[in-house]
Amino acid sequence: MRDKIQEKLKIVVLMGSPYLYGSEKANIDVFASFKEKYNYVDVLFLTDIYQGDDVMHPYLDAQELTYIPVHYHYRFMKNMTALEWIRKILKVFLGSISLLKVYIRYKPTHIYVSKPEYFLNFLPVLYFSKKPIIYRIGDSPILHNMPQRKLWKFIIKKVSKIICVSKFIEKQVHLSGAETSKTEVIYSRPHENKNRCLSANREINEFFTVLYVGQIGKHKGVDLFVEAAVEICKRYDNIIFNIAGKIDKHDNFSQEQIKIVNKSALGKRIKFLDYVSNVDDLYEKSNLHVCPSVYDEPLANVLIDAKKHAIPSIIFNVGGLPEIIEHKVDGYICNEKNAINIEKAIEYYYINQEKCIEMGEKAFFSLEKLDINRFPERWLNVFTKTI
């Protein structure tokens, strides 16, 4: 009976994001893992017809995953005029028509959703659909106003299973009204690196290299990281900071951080690398990773990737981050969100580089505690049990 069910698995994935951050990669990786292991699972991505060609489609092509571009029109804004509301609603119906055509032709067994906006974008079809809907939630439920609360109420009633990226998010989901029987926590696995043989063995290099990977935003604590980097570089000569993340020339925050570094005359040691497609090289050349998010981040996939490369991470005690970092065992948890604490943590590792290597090894092996080895199997169970 199990084999018969598996042969029928056909999953439509709603993936309208034009970006390719950790969240998007983590969602795509669910189905990349299926492709590697289960040849009886068929997956079809519905991408944004207008914004997919830049990064999303090339990435899916590289993963050998199938996609169809459709209409995504989910951006409802405050203070829209009556005419704008009418246009937006019409566009939602256009998107739903696209999904309906795929629905009829492809005959999916499941629909996979990763953002609440996608429920709104395809609301007419999803409302009437009888197929199981799997929702992987990567942020706390948005309940700021009545329309958002109504949408969330529809989501938790309609979906068959809510997969949470961390225990922190699962708690928020329960507090917002979802049934405990509908939720499950599955941590992301590290981004796959098929061309390298990775191990926990690392060496002390001439330069001690500290890495940040992610969005260049205030909520990510990049300003605190830059402030700490400047002070550390003033005290020690053989330490380098790499900041990997897309630089927007029109973004005041990111430009201000670049100005601070340039004014300090430390631009050769505190480097803004812009968007880096192959971050594995950066991890392999680094000794330490910092994830200085100051908001309640649900879970940072960069922490998982750092563990894969046997690098300890420095974090603040926020959101779901402390779930996967053990203080002074495989990383460092700062209780106060400021640059001084980041400085202290970096200096701790710089002065104790043998300890840094030891914690990196423990970080590598700690992935087993997160049940990463059973990642494809656990996700397959989600789909087979809801068919």
Q: What SS3 string covers the chain?
A: CHHHHHHCCEEEEECCCCCCCHHHHHHHHHHHHHHHHCCCCEEEEEEECCCCCCCHHHHHHHCCCEEEEECCCCCCCCCCCHHHHHHHHHHHHHHHHHHHHHHHHHCCCEEEECCHHHHHHCHHHHHHCCCCEEEEECCCCCCCCHHHHHHHHHHHHHCCEEEECCHHHHHHHHHCCCCHHHEEECCCCCCCCCCCCCCCCCCCCCCEEEEEECCCCHHHCHHHHHHHHHHHHHHCCCEEEEEECCCCCCCHHHHHHHHHHHHHCCCCCEEEEECCCCHHHHHHCCCEEEECCCCCCCCCHHHHHHHHCCCCEEEECCCCHHHCCCECCCEEEECCCCHHHHHHHHHHHHHCHHHHHHHHHHHHHHHHHHCHHHHHHHHHHHHHHHC
Residues 6 or more apart from 37 whose CB is under 8 A from it? 376
Region 2-187+371-386: CATH code: 3.40.50.2000
Residue 51 · residue 74 · CB < 8 Å: no
* High-pLDDT (> 90) share of the chain, %: 74
CB-CB contact of 316 with 203 (8 Å)? no
Segment 116-140 shows an average pLDDT of: 93
For the stretch 226-263, pLDDT in tens is: 999 999 999 999 999 999 999 988 999 999 999 999 99
Q: In this predicted model, which residue has the larger pLDDT, 84 or 157?
A: 157
Does the pLDDT value for residue 57 go beyond 80?
A: yes
Average pLDDT over every residue of 321-346 = 97
Tell me the pLDDT tens digit for each residue of 169-196.
Answer: 999 999 999 999 999 999 999 876 544 4
* Adjacency order of strands within the sheet including 66-70: 66-70, 42-48, 10-14, 110-113, 133-137, 161-164, 183-185
HSE of 177 in the Cβ direction (CA atoms, 13 Å)? Answer: 13
The residues spanned by each domain of the chain are 2-187+371-386, 208-370
- Is 60 exceeded by the pLDDT of residue 135? yes
Q: Residue type at 158?
A: K
Q: Kindly list the strands in the beta sheet with 288-291, ordered across the sheet, starting from the edge strand earlier in the chain.
A: 270-274, 239-244, 208-213, 288-291, 313-316, 331-334
Confidence band (pLDDT; 50, 70, 90) for 199?
low
Interval 118-130 mean pLDDT: 92
Q: Would you say the CATH fold of 208-370 matches that of 2-187+371-386?
A: yes
Tokens of 131: 């197929």
208-370 — its CATH code? Answer: 3.40.50.2000
Start-to-end CA span in the chain (Å): 12
Residues 6+ apart with CB under 8 A from 20: 55, 56, 59
- Phi then psi for 28, rounded to 5 degrees? -65, -35
The region of weakest confidence among 7-21, 53-67, 189-203, 291-305 is: 189-203
Give the pLDDT band (50/70/90) at residue 7.
Answer: low
- Token pair 């700021």 in the structure block, residue: 144
